[in-house]
Amino acid sequence: PRLREVLRAIAQDHEPQLLAAHLKISQRTLDDYKSAIFAECRVGWALSADVRLTFDWVRRKFAPYLHLL
């Protein structure tokens, strides 16, 4: 559930610098969640390691599905 909450916050266009404070977690914890989300995206979309994932990429992919998260 927490990973989904972080994904939702990213998709809702929260600024990366403010995400940790918004979620009441440390920056290190946010980085761990971000790494887990990016890893799952790489598998789900069969992305190669050379594709650079960013918060913006995650927003574009998941924003249309916020109501499902």
Mean pLDDT of 11-38: 91
pTM over 0.85: yes
Q: Give the percent of the chain with pLDDT over 90.
A: 78
Asked if residue 8 lies in contact with residue 66, where contact means CB atoms within 8 angstroms, the answer is: yes
Please report, as a single letter, which amino acid is at residue 3: L
Q: Encode pLDDT of 32-55 as tens digits.
A: 999 999 999 999 999 999 999 999
Residues 6+ apart with CB under 8 A from 20: 26, 27, 29, 30
Mean pLDDT of 17-33: 93
Which two three-digit tokens encode residue 52? 């650079």
Distance CA 34, CA 32 (A): 5
Residue 35 pLDDT? 96
